[in-house]
Amino acid sequence: MSSKHKEILNAVTSTIQGLTLLDLPAANVLQRKLPLDRNLTPSTNYVFVCPVGNEVEYPGTIGSDDFGFPSLIVLVAPTNQDNTVSDKELTWREQITNAFHNKRLSGVSSVWRCIVEHATIIDPNWFREGNMTLSQLTVRAVSRRART
């Protein structure tokens, strides 16, 4: 039996893999503990889905509690020090936001709402030092569970 958080990570990964993201094949949407993988090709676009962040408790009902489980989404694209604003990475963020924000999470019946928390659009350190565009947002899946 999987934990609720693992079920959510699987569903978030699957949903992103099902999107049509320009120059980003479904096989490059990867679930990792952290947004890195030393064995990947540095000249390729990737999306990492990671269980990074804190669980958040929300007001529930008389007999249940609501918990928000984070899935950090990290978009990575090589830049070759090109400082031109790319519509591609901005569109990825928009498509991912549209797929989740204020929606139920397909495949996890206890998740009644997803909240997209926006973070760094372009991380300047990764651009300068890593020659990569790195962009982050968090999909927080709010799951209801009965009190026992």
Task: Report the pLDDT value the prediction gives residue 60, as an integer from 0 to 100.
Answer: 79
Strands 111-118 and 56-61: unpaired
| Nearby residues of 56 by Cβ (< 8 Å), 6 or more positions away | 67, 68, 70, 140
Burial label, 78 (beta-carbon count in 10 A; 0-12, 13-18, 19+): middle
* Rg for the chain, CA atoms, rounded: 16
Per-residue pLDDT of the chain (148 residues; tens, 9 = 90+): 789 999 999 999 999 999 999 999 999 999 999 987 777 777 789 999 999 999 999 887 888 899 999 999 999 998 877 888 889 989 999 999 999 999 999 999 999 999 999 999 998 888 887 788 899 999 999 999 888 7
Strand partners, 74: 48, 136
How far, in Å, CA of 71 to CA of 109, rounded?
A: 17
Task: Report the pLDDT value the prediction gives residue 22, as an integer from 0 to 100.
Answer: 93
Task: Report the pLDDT value the prediction gives residue 41, as an integer from 0 to 100.
Answer: 76
Per DSSP, the chain holds a count of helices (H) and strands (E) of 3, 6
How does DSSP classify residue 86?
P
How far, in Å, CA of 82 to CA of 106, rounded?
A: 37
How far, in Å, CA of 61 to CA of 84, rounded?
A: 49
Q: Could you identify the residue written with the tokens 């990569």?
A: 132
Entry pTM: 0.93
Question: What number of other Cβ atoms are within 10 A of residue 10's Cβ?
Answer: 16
Task: Report the pLDDT value the prediction gives residue 10, as an integer from 0 to 100.
Answer: 98
Task: Report the pLDDT value the prediction gives residue 15, as an integer from 0 to 100.
Answer: 98
